[in-house]
């Protein structure tokens, strides 16, 4: 912003001989405006825009740690396309993301519905149900790692000794059959309160008369939900689902702490694969290509989401 602003200023001074023309071009509050947004502009440029462009460049190089990068074009992307480990990470990422988001949606709707029903101590209950969202994710992941423990974990203790549902303990995170479901469960546990609280905010904004009118017309609970609640929270629903899809797809810490992508790659998702390629195999260029591989999809999602979020604000 600074350079064009300076140019414009000198031109404006020549042309109209004063601050009037400048004000017309840059807006009445441009001085304070540019001063106030300068730190944000620095932040966006140096911490997101520049690293992003640098990432695109690095993804087109062979970059080993400690050596200068060698430009190779889209070779990394082509190689990844036919790499079986990478293909499995992509599939796992989609399974993890869609499984988690779908369940968070269900739990979130349930949470919002019970919190808007006729109950006492509403803010107390809301506060309790939001705890997983506030607590440090690493702590939660470690808690589950301990509870899921095959030999001393409390989950097996409950299922085998207390409720007698299972004949013997299960290695929840160490067996290929249960590992993905377990990491999804942890992600859902941590993320559903955000869905719930957002839907709650949306449902509070729906006028009570609409529900009364629907009740007078003889609509039952489900019909009222379908025809009054859902249309009322449609925008919020789209925003929350898209936002959570981006976050879940890029969730690193839960899987890194619980399984590191194991056992045998059954929970290896793209962010963990990126990290392992970069700092395990020390191949930086390829690692960034993994992170950027689905960039077109991410970009479209972000654009759609940003549009909805701005629209939500204007209402």
Partner 1 sequence: MKGRGSLAIERTLSYGVLVLLAILVLFPFYWMIITSFKNEEQMRSIVSMFWPKPFAIENYQQLLSKTEFAAWYGNSVFVAVSSTLLATAVGTIGAYALARLKFLGRGFLASATLITYLVPPSILFIPLYKQMQGLGMANTLSGLIAAYPSFTVPFVTWLLMGYFESIPEELEEAAMIDGATRFGAFYRVVLPLSAPGLLAAGLYAFTQAWNEFLYALVFITDAKLRTLPVGLASFITGDVYGWGSLMSGAVLTTLPVIAAYIYLQKYMVEGLTAGSVKG
For partner 1, the binding residues in 126-145 under the rule CB under 8 A are 126-140, 142-145
Smallest distance from the beta carbon of 268 to partner 1, in angstroms?
14
210 to 229, contacts with partner 1 by CB under 8 A? 215-216, 221
- CA dist 197 and 91 (Å) reads 30
> Between residues 180 and 257, which has the closer beta carbon with respect to partner 1?
257
Q: Tell which one of 6, 10, 52, 231 touches partner 1 (CB under 8 A).
A: 52
171 to 200, contacts with partner 1 by CB under 8 A? 189, 193-194, 197-198, 200
> Between residues 128 and 166, which has the closer beta carbon with respect to partner 1?
128
DSSP letter at 283 equals B
Taking the alpha carbons of 40, 46, 52, 56 in that order, is the dihedral positive or negative?
positive
Q: Looking at the chain, how many residues does it have?
A: 315
> Between residues 99 and 193, which has the closer beta carbon with respect to partner 1?
193
Q: Tell which one of 19, 50, 102, 223 touches partner 1 (CB under 8 A).
A: 50
- CA dist 180 and 173 (Å) reads 8
Is residue 71 classed as helix, strand or coil in its secondary structure? strand
- The pattern of x and - marking residues 73 through 102 that bind partner 1 according to CB under 8 A reads ------------------------------
Binding range to partner 1, per CB under 8 A, among 84-92, 96-104, 172-180, 291-299: 291-299
> Between residues 86 and 149, which has the closer beta carbon with respect to partner 1?
149
The answer to whether 215 and 303 have CB atoms below 8 angstroms apart is no
Pure H helices in the chain: 2-16, 19-26, 30-44, 50-58, 75-81, 84-116, 122-129, 131-134, 137-147, 154-156, 176-204, 208-216, 221-224, 230-232, 234-249, 253-258, 270-275, 284-292, 295-314
First to last CA, the chain: 30
Residues with Cβ within 8 Å of 301's Cβ and at least 6 positions away in sequence, in order, are: 242, 245, 246
Q: Tell which one of 17, 39, 73, 84 touches partner 1 (CB under 8 A).
A: 39
Smallest distance from the beta carbon of 120 to partner 1, in angstroms?
9
- CA dist 266 and 313 (Å) reads 41
- CA dist 266 and 100 (Å) reads 16
Q: Tell which one of 9, 16, 55, 150 touches partner 1 (CB under 8 A).
A: 55
Smallest distance from the beta carbon of 71 to partner 1, in angstroms?
16
Smallest distance from the beta carbon of 36 to partner 1, in angstroms?
4
> Between residues 170 and 284, which has the closer beta carbon with respect to partner 1?
284
> Between residues 145 and 180, which has the closer beta carbon with respect to partner 1?
145
101 to 130, contacts with partner 1 by CB under 8 A? 107, 110-111, 114-115, 117-119, 123, 125-130
Per rule CB under 8 A, is residue 157 in the interface with partner 1?
yes
């Amino acid at each position: 912003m600074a350079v064009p602003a300076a140019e414009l200023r000198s031109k404006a001074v020549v042309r109209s001989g004063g601050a009037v023309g400048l004000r017309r071009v840059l807006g009445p509050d441009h001085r304070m405006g540019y001063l106030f947004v300068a730190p944000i502009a620095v932040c966006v440029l140096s911490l997101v825009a520049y690293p992003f462009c640098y990432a695109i460049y690095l993804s087109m190089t062979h970059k080993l740690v400690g050596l200068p990068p060698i430009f190779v074009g889209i070779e990394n992307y082509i190689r990844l396309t036919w790499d079986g480990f990478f293909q499995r990470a992509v599939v796992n990422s989609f399974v993890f993301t869609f499984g988690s988001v779908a369940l968070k949606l269900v739990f979130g709707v349930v949470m919002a519905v019970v919190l808007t029903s006729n109950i006492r101590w509403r803010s107390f209950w809301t506060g309790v149900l939001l705890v997983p969202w506030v607590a440090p994710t690493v702590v939660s992941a470690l808690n589950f790692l301990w509870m899921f423990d095959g030999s001393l974990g409390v989950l097996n203790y409950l299922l085998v000794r207390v409720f007698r549902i299972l004949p013997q303990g299960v290695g929840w995170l160490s067996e290929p059959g249960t590992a993905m479901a377990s990491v999804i469960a942890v992600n859902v546990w941590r993320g559903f309160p955000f869905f719930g609280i957002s839907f709650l905010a949306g449902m509070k904004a729906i006028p009570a008369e609409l529900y009364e009118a629907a009740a007078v017309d003889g609509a039952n609970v489900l019909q009222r939900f379908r025809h009054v609640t859902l249309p009322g929270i449609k925008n919020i629903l789209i925003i929350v689902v898209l936002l959570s899809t981006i976050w879940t797809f890029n969730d690193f810490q839960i899987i890194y702490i619980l399984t590191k992508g194991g056992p045998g790659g059954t929970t290896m998702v793209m962010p963990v694969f990126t990290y392992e390629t970069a700092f395990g195999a020390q191949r930086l260029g390829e690692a960034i290509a993994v992170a950027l591989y689905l960039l077109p999809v991410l970009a479209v999602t972000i654009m759609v989401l940003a549009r909805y979020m701005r629209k939500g604000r204007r209402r």
